[in-house]
Amino acid sequence: MASSREDVQISLHDKAVLERIFNPNLPNYIDEDEKEEESLETEDDSPVVKESKALEIEGVKLAEKGDVTAALEKFNNAINLMSDRASGYNNRAQALRLKGDTQGALCDLNRAIELSKGRGKTACQALTQRALIKKLEGDCDGALEDFKLAADLGGKFAKQQVVSMNPYAALCNQMLSEVMNKLKYGEQ
């Protein structure tokens, strides 16, 4: 019995090879699920960590409701409680951006990246945020570098930005796709 296309599964190695063919200018890219497992941030379950996380969650909810000032207060409290947690700085940076404090946001993003040692979900988010700020400020090279780092950490949005910021790679991908489609359908 012949299998349908949906039944065919390819290995992670094959996926990686295809990724390099279609996106040659991206960092080596690992499957999202595999990268997520690699980058899980482990923290102890102490009461102070739980309280810091709870303050951050409250801050995020306040920011989503539009109360950025109250959100900043929650993020400040979370950071005061646990000044070595990267996510507090990353979340506060988002609120600072909403308030128009780009320099304050950049300082917090740099601190989040430093504390996370450039690894994990928080680093990916901070690098993506910093890249967006750099892009808005006209630093396309710096933005591209941060997007590449975030893409390497598994950031889908960052990966899309790397491709969109590189017109040569996009053109190559388009031409390669056309050739593959012609081969697939027997056209010359």
Q: What is the pLDDT of residues 136-150, one digit of tens each?
A: 999 989 999 999 999
23-27, 61-65, 174-178, range with the lowest pLDDT: 23-27
Helices (H), 68-119: 68-81, 86-99, 102-116
Please state, in angstroms and rounded to a whole number, the distance separating the CA atoms of residues 82 and 160.
Answer: 33
Please state, in angstroms and rounded to a whole number, the distance separating the CA atoms of residues 98 and 14.
Answer: 42
* Whether the Cβ atoms of residue 158 and residue 151 lie closer than 8 Å to each other: yes
- Please report the pLDDT score of residue 163 as a whole number: 82
Please report, rounded to a whole number, the percentage of residues in the chain having pLDDT higher than 90: 55
Q: What is the CATH number of domain 26-165?
A: 1.25.40.10
pTM for the complete prediction? Answer: 0.69
Whole-angstrom CA distances from 72 to 103, 106, 111, 139, 147 are 15, 15, 16, 27, 26
- Please report the pLDDT score of residue 144 as a whole number: 93
Give 57-62's long-range contacts (Cβ < 8 A, gap of 24+).
59/91, 59/92, 59/95, 60/91
* Whether the Cβ atoms of residue 134 and residue 112 lie closer than 8 Å to each other: no
Region 102-109: mean pLDDT is: 96
* Whether the Cβ atoms of residue 93 and residue 105 lie closer than 8 Å to each other: yes
Enumerate the domain spans of the chain: 26-165
* Whether the Cβ atoms of residue 89 and residue 115 lie closer than 8 Å to each other: yes
Per-residue pLDDT tens for 49-91?
A: 999 999 999 999 998 899 999 999 999 999 999 999 999 999 9
